[in-house]
Amino acid sequence: MSIVGFTFQKANILGVPALGHRFFPELNLRFYVRRKVGDEIRKGVVFIKEICPKRLVSLTASLLYNEDFTTCPMRSFCIPDQINPQEVRYEWKFKNKWNSIALYSSEEFEYPQNDFDRFIVDRYWGYNKSRGGETIEFEVAHPEWEVRNVSNFSIQFDFEALYGELSKFLVPEPLSVTLINGSEVALSKRSFI
């Protein structure tokens, strides 16, 4: 499982600019899966719980993809800038308490050099369970992502308050922390399998 923080920029819903909802942070808890379709192996993620500051985004994702969203105040920082970050921080206010994850890196971005980083970024499918019990599948199209090594990180939040019973599967010290250089991402229409 992974906890992933990222920032949407120029967000669209069904190809239409999401006015007032184009730039915002999000945090999600996910795990990784593979599905064989004929001769193809589809590597994907299952979104367990997501945090977003925009109610309309949470509602849309819940209706279209049956994703479990919590809407709460959030903010993100990329210091000194988006192109050459040395610190990336995501903060959210949950149950009247500010929580955060942060990482620090002065490395250059490069394509994944090790199997673990490739395992994390080489994901082009999303999965979830529909309200009727079927599996929802959708393609997550993006170019190959570059990564950076992380020199230090900080995690300051109450796993149990946010994730309840799922928190017992999370360890306070992650096995790996990676900074990924994002890109344009396009979600396909969902299908049921």
Range of the domain at 105: 2-192
DSSP state of 39: T
How many domains, in total, are found in the chain? 1
More confident residue, 159 or 73: 73
Q: Which pTM was predicted?
A: 0.83
Q: In 3D, which of 103, 57, 95, 59 has the Cα closest to residue 79?
A: 103
Task: Provide, rounded to the nearest whole percent, the portion of the chain with pLDDT above 90.
Answer: 36
Cα end-to-end span (Å), the chain: 23
The per-residue pLDDT for range 128-153, each reduced to its tens digit, is: 888 888 998 999 989 999 998 888 99
